[in-house]
Structure 1
Amino acid sequence: MKRLSFPLLAAVLLVATGAVGWGIGTWRKRAVGPAPAPDQTQPAPAPVADRGPLVYQMYCASCHGPDGHGDGTASAALRPPPRDFAARPWRFAPTPEAIRRVTFDGIPGTAMASFRSLPPADLDAVVAHVERLAAGGGGSVKPLSADAQLLAAAGFTDLTGAAPPPLSLLDARDRTTRLADLKGQLVLLHFWGTNCTHCVKEVPALQRLEHEHAGRLKVLHVCTDADTPADAQAVLDKFAPGAPALVEASGVGAARYEVQALPTVWLIAPDGTAVGRSSGAKDWAAGPQTKLLARWLPPAK
């Protein structure tokens, strides 16, 4: 038997390979068939303007309410309460840029979380919807109450009626002061730090206010960073001799009172409920602060 020459064998293999490839291709076309045409009966994705209410209901309505009035199902337990978008004044102009910034970053120390994970289209949609609610599109505009206006003018977050966390304090003489025992007076909780210049500089002004309203106003200077009440008192004596320095007994008071910046002030009404919270140094002789204190001071005896 003669062997096939190499050129003839290569030709045979080439023809065989082509035939197999043609057969497989023909079978795949018959088995798979052409791609189906798109279903023109399905609705297109909702445009951005129409997605706003949907995204809002998913992420915002439980706190801010269905129409943006701060009356959602979760609002009663939140302090500070959620914003009523239709109420005035806002701390900043309700522009799309400002609303986007708050939605994207959230507000530390509040229930307003960051929504950085929202897709850009959804973020645009919900910002546009909140802007409409802020313009009154969600209902009638509700002005702030007189008390809320006083708090806003003095730079305080409205906490009216909320129950403050329990607080027990120690002074340098190892005496205990409990917030619950001070009902009947307006209590000003002044959270300060030994390295906070602005904190210690405003202590003399607070000391004068306490003397002016003796028996009606109690100022508690709560140090957040001293190891002992004696250490805190040594610092305070340099700036306001006679002002008692206090340290929170359990070590978690600053966290309970959401102290994220110094100084932080809480006002507690004579009935023991919270009035408001503020961060940053204040001019306690200025009109907004004196009006705020006068509103909640108990009657003189």
Structure 2
Amino acid sequence: MHFRPKTLFTLMICFALTIFAWPAYSASKPITPADQEQINGLFKTLGIIKLAGIAPPIDIELEDLSGKMIRVSDFKGKIVFINFWATWCPDCRVEMPSMEKLFQRFKDRDFAMVAVNLRESPKKVSAFFKKYKLSFTALLDRKGRTALPFGIRSIPTTFILNQKGGLIGKVLGPREWESEAATILFELLIEDKAAPAT
């Protein structure tokens, strides 16, 4: 079979467009049942309590270390990792470095990490962040007002929000967030543009 030059050129263009379009398509593909099954398994492995994707009890709005007011809802469209903690908490001190590693891995993706400090001064929190070389967002809840609506009874406690701002996971106590299981979980959650709650 012979193709005319014009026809051959058209076919080559179509082929090239297909090749370049494929990565973009695959990167934004919706989650599959197999992926969801894997996510459920990783939740169990990491001891994450699965939540139904409901809206948070309040929209957290607090100052960061620079004095700027930040709302958690501003991160909608991203997977959001919210950790409640304090500098005096031994488990928090153990957990924070692994949180930083997770943040560094996904910070250039649709992912945000927020550490809500309870009842401590900006000076103390800032010194802690410098000591442990932490670069994710710290918010200051100086009166502990966010703890009650979120049902915080112990720290550290972590919540995971999907891209729609719904709560999909709760973690009581520290975890090794640099672990392979955590890395795979957040990779799957970030890739899932629909961010299903079921």
Match of 1:46 in 2: none
The structure that is strand-richer by fraction is: 2
Taking the aligned partners of 2:153 and 2:117, their CA distance within structure 1 comes to 13
Match of 2:113 in 1: 219
In structure 1, give the amino acid aligned to 2:119.
Answer: D
Relative to structure 1, the CA distance from residue 251 to residue 180 in structure 2 (aligned partners, 3 Å threshold; closer, same or farther) is: same
Equivalent of 2:42, from 143, 150, 153?
A: 150
The CA RMSD over aligned residues, in Å, is: 2.4
Give the drift of 1:267: 0.4
In structure 2, give the amino acid aligned to 1:222.
Answer: V
Is it true that 1:255 corresponds to 2:148 in the alignment?
yes
Spell out, residue by residue over 1:49-85, the C-alpha distance to the aligned partner (whole angstroms, 9 max, x if none). xxxxxxxxxxxxxxxxxxxxxxxxxxxxxxxxxxxxx
Larger CA Rg, structure 1 vs 2:
1
Name the % identity.
24
Taking the aligned partners of 1:249 and 1:162, their CA distance within structure 2 comes to 26
Taking the aligned partners of 1:299 and 1:212, their CA distance within structure 2 comes to 17
Question: 3-state SS of the aligned residue for 2:88?
Answer: coil
Match of 1:188 in 2: 81
Is it true that 1:204 corresponds to 2:94 in the alignment?
no
Taking the aligned partners of 1:295 and 1:249, their CA distance within structure 2 comes to 34
Say which structure, 1 or 2, has more relative contact order (CA 8 Å, 6+ apart).
Answer: 2
- What TM-score comes out, normalization by structure 2 length? 0.69
Q: Is the 8 A contact 1:185 1:218 kept in 2?
A: yes
Structure-to-structure mapping, 1:164-183, within 5 angstroms: 164-165=56-57, 166-183=59-76
Give the drift of 1:172: 2.0
Q: Is the 8 A contact 1:233 1:244 kept in 2?
A: no
- What TM-score comes out, normalization by structure 1 length? 0.47
Where does the alignment leave 5 or more consecutive residues of structure 2 unmatched?
Answer: 1-35, 194-198
Question: 3-state SS of the aligned residue for 1:255?
Answer: coil
How many residue pairs get aligned? The number is 156
Equivalent of 2:123, from 230, 241, 252?
A: 230
